[in-house]
């Protein structure tokens, strides 16, 4: 079956011929099974390629939907954060304005209170001066009246003694008359 041809490539020719014979034997023995296997492998490869393509397409769709959902959620969260920030800023501005108003009202109250206290002190001082003056006038009047009454009593004291003696005498006379 194999021929031995002498040349430099003798070994190569012998090997090539052996390989051809082996290939033919394989084809005869395993030809149909090999064709079936190759067909199954091709079908499996095609099925795998189709499945991977479908999975890749499905994964891409799901990833796209996930990205859209994440973007939507981030946009909603950003809107909510902006809303909360706006409310916070508005409340902060309102508190700041109220604090400024309270500070102004406090300053006005302090100024008014100081003015009222000064006015009350002046009124109190005037009233105290007026009362002191009236009291001194009244005291002077009472002293003058006391001096006058004292002088009258000094002069009327003798009149009283005389009147007492006279009354005593009359009482004695009346007693005598009754007896």
The pLDDT tens digits for 90-128 are 999 999 999 999 999 999 999 999 999 999 999 999 999
Tokens describing residue 50: 């189709």
What pTM value is reported for the model? 0.40
Q: What is the pLDDT of residue 2?
A: 42
Q: What is the pLDDT of residues 30-78, one digit of tens each?
A: 778 878 888 999 999 999 999 999 999 999 999 999 999 999 999 999 9
Residue 98 CA to residue 134 CA, distance in Å, equals: 52
Q: What is the pLDDT of residues 127-165, one digit of tens each?
A: 999 988 988 887 787 778 777 777 776 666 566 677 778
Instruction: Tell me which residue of 33, 53, 51 sits closest to 43, measured CA to CA.
Output: 51
Torsion of CA 126, 132, 135, 139, to 10 degrees: -150
Question: Which phi and psi (to 5°) does residue 136 adopt?
Answer: -65, -40
Burial class of residue 13 in the structure, from the number of CB atoms within 10 Å of its CB (0-12 exposed, 13-18 middle, 19+ buried): middle
CB atoms within 10 A of CB 17: 15
Element (H or E) spanning 158, and its range? helix 10-178
Scan for tokens 């051809």, then name that residue.
20
Q: Report angle CA 59, 62, 66 to the nearest 5 degrees.
A: 135
């Amino acid at each position: 079956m194999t021929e031995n041809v002498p040349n430099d490539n003798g070994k190569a020719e012998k090997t090539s011929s052996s390989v051809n014979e082996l290939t033919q034997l394989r084809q005869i023995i395993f030809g149909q099974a090999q064709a079936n296997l190759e067909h199954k492998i091709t079908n499996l490869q095609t099925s795998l390629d189709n499945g991977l393509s479908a999975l890749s397409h499905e994964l891409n769709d799901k990833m796209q939907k996930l990205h859209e959902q994440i973007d939507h959620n981030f946009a909603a969260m950003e809107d909510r954060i902006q809303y909360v920030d706006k409310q916070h800023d508005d409340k902060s501005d309102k508190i700041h304005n109220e604090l400024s108003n309270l500070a102004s009202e406090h300053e006005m109250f302090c100024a008014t209170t100081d003015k009222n206290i000064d006015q009350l002190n002046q009124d109190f001082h005037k009233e105290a001066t007026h009362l002191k003056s009236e009291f001194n006038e009244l005291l002077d009047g009472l002293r003058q009246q006391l001096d006058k009454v004292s002088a009258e009593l000094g002069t009327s004291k003798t009149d009283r003694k005389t009147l007492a003696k006279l009354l005593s005498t009359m009482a004695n006379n009346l007693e005598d008359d009754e007896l």
